[in-house]
């Protein structure tokens, strides 16, 4: 009774926050920053364009729906690498760790860094480059916690620190995600999820890079050496609301030893309400053979019209991926090594490739 009471409080609180955030103003569209918070470095969920809000679990849940963090056996470690928008030579590198705390709680930590490579330094006098280069540093670190109520409802929160900088300018902020997952059905096959992401402080850039040195000549030819310091405007984080449902269909008789159906087909759908861009809707399928080999594919598109210009989100379209799960212990079949790959088509450039390795114990 107490668990049900607290779970209802958590859901109501999340919905109240959601209503306040997304009552919003359409004139705010296109004004956010720190869009690396929307980049997904994990291959398993990227194969479905992050639409598996309702059934995602483990480390990857910290990027899609933190409520799924608690749905692991004991410990999970993930490493991810992404060739983001291939032609841009941008890479994403990620590490995540999830650990059970007691029977129903799980704590996790995730780190993602964006590697832009070496960029040319340009000036108004030398627009083609001065010969020098610089490397921006974009990263975010998140610490999250998820709690499961009687295996039916799980809730979670994650606090994320965001940092963007180069040699002479920097900006930072704090973001909070919250999520809920609900499971029901005869075989726990129907799942519902809702996640509120990237709600936090405004960001502002500061540093010497915002100062401009002016060298006007005085009346007698002297150099006054005036330095003009500019204040950068603040910007908000790309907050959004994810809502998703899924249903598992089990086919084939399960063996007495494995107690897992030979075949599983999962059908899912999701809706994304973006505060700073058009909303998105999509669906996908995942096929699993004995939870050892998975194939997945999805399609996501934007809804609504832009009165000014027709510009689609870079990830409006198809996504696909696969996962191989290999047992690493004969005594405990829950100890596994999973290798995943995903490809997401894009309107421009040459798509995005995700690679991932996950160790579960």
Q: Does residue 133 come out as left (phi exceeding 0), alpha (psi in the -120 to 50 range) or beta?
A: beta
Higher pLDDT, 227 or 234: 234
- pLDDT attached to residue 334: 84
- The model's pLDDT over 140-159, given as tens digits with 9 standing for 90+, comes to 999 999 999 877 899 999 99
Output the six-digit token pair for 124.
């108004």
Determine the average pLDDT of the residues in 172-185: 95
- The model's pLDDT over 256-310, given as tens digits with 9 standing for 90+, comes to 555 667 899 999 999 999 888 888 999 999 999 989 999 999 999 988 755 544 5
Position 247 confidence tier, pLDDT thresholds 50, 70, 90? very high
- pLDDT attached to residue 208: 86
Query: In this prediction, what percent of the chain has a pLDDT beyond 90?
Result: 59
Residue 46, CB-side half-sphere exposure with 13 Å CA sphere: 27
Position 316 confidence tier, pLDDT thresholds 50, 70, 90? confident
Higher pLDDT, 193 or 16: 193
Determine the average pLDDT of the residues in 155-184: 94
Output the six-digit token pair for 281.
């809707």
Relative to beta strand 280-289, strand 317-327 is unpaired
> 3-state class of 182 per DSSP?
strand
- Give the least confident one: 74-83, 168-177, 270-279: 270-279
120 forms beta bridges with 133
Determine the average pLDDT of the residues in 152-173: 94
Determine the average pLDDT of the residues in 166-180: 93
Q: What is the mean pLDDT of the chain?
A: 86
- pLDDT attached to residue 16: 47
Distance CA 192, CA 11 (A): 12
Which residue spans within 88-239 are E strands per DSSP? 90-101, 105-115, 119-120, 133-134, 137-149, 153-165, 170-184, 190-200, 211-214, 226-229
- pLDDT attached to residue 214: 67
* pTM across the whole model: 0.87
Relative to beta strand 137-149, strand 153-165 is antiparallel
- pLDDT attached to residue 27: 57
Query: In this prediction, what percent of the chain has a pLDDT beyond 70?
Result: 83
Distance CA 217, CA 115 (A): 42
Determine the average pLDDT of the residues in 65-87: 95
Domains of the chain plus CATH, in order, are 2-360 (2.40.160.40)
pLDDT exceeds 80 at position 48: yes
- Give the least confident one: 7-11, 105-109, 124-128, 161-165: 7-11
Determine the average pLDDT of the residues in 323-344: 92
pLDDT exceeds 90 at position 315: no
pLDDT exceeds 80 at position 127: yes
Taking the CA atoms of 8, 9, 12 and 14 in sequence, report the sign of the dihedral they define.
negative
pLDDT exceeds 80 at position 6: no
- pLDDT attached to residue 186: 85
Contact 211, 228 (CB under 8 A): yes
- pLDDT attached to residue 254: 63
Q: Which residues of 236-247 are buried (b: 16+ CB within 10 A; e: fewer)?
A: bbbbbbbbbbbe
């Amino acid at each position: 009774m107490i668990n049900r009471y607290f779970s209802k409080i958590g859901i109501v609180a999340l919905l109240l926050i959601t209503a306040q955030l997304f009552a919003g103003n359409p004139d705010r569209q296109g004004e956010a920053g720190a869009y690396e918070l929307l980049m997904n470095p994990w291959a398993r969920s990227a194969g479905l364009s992050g639409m598996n809000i309702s059934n995602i679990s483990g480390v990857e849940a910290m990027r899609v729906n933190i409520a799924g963090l608690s749905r692991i056996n004991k410990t999970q470690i993930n490493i991810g690498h992404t060739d983001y928008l291939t032609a841009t030579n941008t890479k994403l590198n990620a590490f995540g760790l999830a650990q059970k705390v007691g029977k129903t709680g799980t704590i996790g930590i995730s780190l993602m860094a964006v590697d832009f490579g070496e960029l040319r330094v340009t000036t108004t006098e030398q627009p083609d480059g001065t010969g020098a280069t610089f490397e921006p540093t974009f990263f975010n670190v998140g610490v999250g916690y998820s709690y499961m109520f009687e295996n039916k409802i799980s809730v979670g929160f994650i606090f994320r620190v965001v940092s963007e900088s180069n040699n002479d300018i920097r900006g930072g902020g704090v973001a909070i995600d919250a999520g809920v997952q609900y499971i029901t059905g005869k075989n726990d096959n129907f799942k519902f999820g809702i996640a509120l992401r990237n709600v936090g402080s405004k960001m502002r850039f500061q540093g010497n890079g915002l100062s401009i040195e002016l060298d006007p000549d005085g009346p007698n030819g002297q150099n006054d050496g005036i330095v003009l310091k500019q204040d950068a405007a603040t910007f908000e984080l790309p907050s959004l609301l994810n809502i998703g449902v899924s249903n598992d269909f089990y086919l084939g008789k399960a063996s007495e030893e494995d107690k897992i159906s030979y075949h599983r087909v999962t059908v899912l759908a999701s809706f994304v309400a973006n505060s700073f861009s058009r909303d998105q809707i999509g669906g996908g399928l995942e096929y699993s053979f004995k939870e050892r080999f998975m194939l997945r594919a999805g399609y996501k598109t934007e809804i609504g019209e832009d009165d000014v210009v027709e510009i689609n989100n870079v990830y409006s379209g198809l996504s696909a991926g696969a996962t191989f799960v290999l047992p690493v212990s004969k005594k405990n079949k829950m100890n596994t090594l999973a290798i995943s790959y995903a490809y997401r088509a894009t309107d421009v450039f040459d798509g995005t490739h995700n690679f991932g390795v996950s160790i579960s114990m």
